[in-house]
Structure 1
């Protein structure tokens, strides 16, 4: 007689909503993933096409970003003009929307339920486009990740679903962006899980895979097999030899040391910049223009140079050292000064240069090792800076279609990643940038609790009953339920009673539940909040428990209570998990 009877017309809707919150609606998520893949892949195609059109017809150089065709004066002026345009764009953007790129996506996932705004997406789109068109040494993949993740986030918010649902759709957008950018659907999926989501489950794996595949298909239909840069057939590396081992060891050590230096420089510049926009951006424009005046090969994406290195074209060791030092330094500086671009493209350039330079140093010429070592250097640099070894390894396999290069790649990735993580004591660059802003590392507990909904652990074995009940009634309730909710008068609040904690004295006939030590005051909260939000709500009201309603009432009508949750339940759940 004390049980809660759910209203029939709401039962089905609540069941569907709880299924989505608990990440059980895999078919629905997969369909949404396909849609995100189409939208994110299409957005990257539009983004890339606009860059080519503006470059070809607006700046008067070829769509292949051949800045060498421009006069030195034009090469100096372009980044300065671009810096001014970016300043105007950011000044038009609200302050809270100026955080851009992969670190912003990760921050929103951890602390803000994956909510990426439309204004932020627009600012990222046009900011990155301006940076690339005007010759800044940045990549397009970071902005593409933000745009793809934003599309997934907006779709999830429009459906008014749970944080877990939105999280998966954001992962779909990230995977689609990387997949379409490099024609690497498997690497796109792994990047999304390893770098951004940082959590593997079947509920996220299948939808992310679907988005990555459909984005790659779209990219191949438009750009063919080489959407980023032409990758020639990489010859099978010769059998293991002392010379080849020496090249690999030198390249891996150089990659690790230079990756750590680049990360340190970027974080230092970012810290010095603070929240300023105008002066740092103008400095970035002047630095980029000055470098471009003398060395045009370091401007823009640099994919032409990467292709030349992969084709085994010979560069002198002096010029390779010049390219390496200048590209690494200017990329770290302009990104640290706030230019809205990505870092993956420049990392590939730097890695390819390290691979080619190592070959020239050991062999004295480009030779048969040059192209494979350039390819290995690319992924080793990417793995070291992002601390994403699996994504890098999959990338080299998909790009080359040559499994014989895997051994050298694994050796280089292991050494480079260990140097960065153990010698420099660095996390991946994205997380270092968040830490630099006082955002990461967050408490391990906060990261875990922000990813799980109260619906996942709340207790549904409860009943409603009056404050005063008889001992036989108490015995019956203890057999059927764990908790009881009683209404407290006159303030109309509610109390939660742990029925298992009530003991009855001999000859006692009635029990006043509100007087029991197992009773605590509780407040109301909505079904869709996370465990971290639940703890925040408890702290706000000074209570140790909450009752969960399907929807927060807007009138005085009686809410539908779905379950109860206590601080102790959350702590027990957190103690039971192993990792995030």
Structure 2
């Protein structure tokens, strides 16, 4: 048997592999001759859009039918005790899948994408093309209080990254393909191509030029066409305009924007606080049990917290917001007029905690759907409270819709994404003016307290975030080890001035690192500092290098970022800085070499 397998390997597998590599090399060379990089990225943009849109459809349908199977065939209903156990089971299945099959952290998908762009050369692992889809299906279908959008964005971005890696495109084009994947994912899952493009520009932070816009357009259009083909042309939330936009209501939309800004602030900080508290539990299964039980209690009391919450949003948009409260354990109570908005407020407060518990306990999902849910609840709470306190009645479903944009704009720090997404998924373009006003005020409000979005906050705290600033993006592509210069002549501290002069005569540099026999860095000698004694031969045997050297005030490590190195050059007058690791001398980085490479990369990064 062994000999048969050995013959099979040598006679079939090895020649087949060699043949595939030879053909692939021929295809690559043909591509380089016939297809420009820009044309290749456009073609790959269409492919990425197709695959991302298809992935969004698969995820959407998988979540829907799994959820329907669980809730229908096992007798789920409001206040059923199965609501208590179901999220725990779903998160347990998710944890087992990740722990024993994937063996990698796949939580917080959009933050993972931003980290890959910032710190991992825009490379995402191949398993990200499917792992988040499976994990989020298990989490959401069983009742985890999160959305499917972040996992599908990670999936689309990973498709773009890995196609770019296979095609051997540059970092710049691989980053653009990640953006194409994100745009295709949003366009596919929401049937909202404009929102997909704007999301990529605002959140994924792809610079907008004609060279980047065309692939993004192609990807978003392809994904949305695939979505329309398989899912029909209905919008995600059917919405009937209760009353047309009235200019007299504009001040109330402005107040709603302010309110949504503070709701967004609560959303961000309560989510961070809850996750950090639960993650202090070291054992993942203990953490799962604690988080899953608390989540189950919340969902048992408020069934509208189950899953993404889109059913509750549909009720609110169609003027049946009372049903959201009636589904809860409080639905059968005789409620005073003050009780209804109070219960709405409690549901809003617990939704964020339920979302954070789901993620911290080990579930996989994002903040898209929870932010839309919170926005809809904010609009409903605002209108009911306004009516209760002042007797002024506002069109409920209009304010629910606008509130969705307000909270999304604040939580994600993406007002344009919120405006266009809500307009596209509801067909609510008639309310574009209040959408814009509320989203803008919400964004301004939260930005005063939180300069970074829920996606970027922790990355920014760890210094792992690249923004739209090209200089940071370029510096992140440079490494100290790549710019290390080693043509500096080293000298020993016990060398005489005469011996040092001989070293100077054979050196091209004017800086001389001083090391011992174990290559430990002891200091440097600058020619300019000792030029006045170099030719005094009577001192050649009296003065030693240790009398001339000094320890420089700044040093860098090969692990330091180029941003830190650039700051040192900016803050000091040094032209060369020694590179030291564990006390050992490695070489120097020079101001001229750093900025020469910076200009070269900036030119490549900026070319369209």
Give the TM bin, normalised by the shorter chain.
0.7 to 0.9
Q: SS state of the match for residue 456, structure 2?
A: helix
1:398 CA displacement: 2.3
Q: What residue in structure 1 maps to residue 347 of structure 2? A: 323
CA distance in 2, matches of 1:202, 1:142: 27
1:514 CA displacement: 8.0
Work out whether 1:430 is the aligned partner of 2:455.
Answer: yes
Q: SS state of the match for residue 542, structure 1?
A: strand
1:53 aligned to 37, 51, 65, which one?
Answer: 65
CA distance in 1, matches of 2:603, 2:123: 28
Work out whether 1:233 is the aligned partner of 2:240.
Answer: yes
Count of aligned positions = 477
1:571 CA displacement: 5.2
CA distance in 2, matches of 1:46, 1:155: 20
1:408 aligned to 409, 429, 434, which one?
Answer: 434
1:213 CA displacement: 0.6
Q: What residue in structure 2 maps to residue 177 of structure 1? A: 185
Q: SS state of the match for residue 342, structure 1?
A: coil
2:265 aligned to 246, 260, 265, which one?
Answer: 260
Does the 8 A contact of 2:41 with 2:173 survive in 1?
A: yes
Cα separation, partners in 2 of 1:189 and 1:347, compared to 1, 3 Å: same
1:542 aligned to 559, 569, 587, which one?
Answer: 587
Does the 8 A contact of 1:163 with 1:453 survive in 2?
A: no
1:131 aligned to 120, 131, 139, which one?
Answer: 139
1:15 CA displacement: 12
Question: What are the Cα deviations for residues 213-248 of structure 1, in whole angstroms up to 9, with x where unaligned?
Answer: 111111111112346x3322334534222xx24532
1:156 CA displacement: 0.9
Does the 8 A contact of 2:317 with 2:401 survive in 1?
A: yes
Does the 8 A contact of 2:172 with 2:605 survive in 1?
A: no
Cα separation, partners in 2 of 1:14 and 1:568, compared to 1, 3 Å: farther
Q: What residue in structure 1 maps to residue 595 of structure 2? A: 568
Structure 2 residue ranges without an equivalent (≥5): 1-24, 323-339, 489-504, 513-560, 567-577, 581-585
Work out whether 1:31 is the aligned partner of 2:43.
Answer: yes
Work out whether 1:44 is the aligned partner of 2:56.
Answer: yes
1:191 aligned to 194, 199, 203, which one?
Answer: 199
Cα separation, partners in 2 of 1:450 and 1:200, compared to 1, 3 Å: farther
1:509-528 to structure 2, matched below 5 A, reads 516=508
Q: TM-score, normalised by structure 2?
A: 0.69
CA distance in 2, matches of 1:290, 1:539: 57
Does the 8 A contact of 1:247 with 1:362 survive in 2?
A: no
Cα separation, partners in 2 of 1:196 and 1:268, compared to 1, 3 Å: same
Q: What residue in structure 2 maps to residue 393 of structure 1? A: 419
Q: What residue in structure 2 maps to residue 381 of structure 1? A: 407
Q: What residue in structure 1 maps to residue 292 of structure 2? A: 285
Does the 8 A contact of 2:52 with 2:156 survive in 1?
A: yes
CA distance in 2, matches of 1:391, 1:539: 45
1:150 CA displacement: 0.8
Q: SS state of the match for residue 269, structure 2?
A: helix
Q: SS state of the match for residue 429, structure 1?
A: coil
Structure 1 residue ranges without an equivalent (≥5): 1-9, 459-487, 496-512, 521-530, 547-564
Q: TM-score, normalised by structure 1?
A: 0.72
Does the 8 A contact of 1:101 with 1:342 survive in 2?
A: yes
Does the 8 A contact of 2:271 with 2:352 survive in 1?
A: no
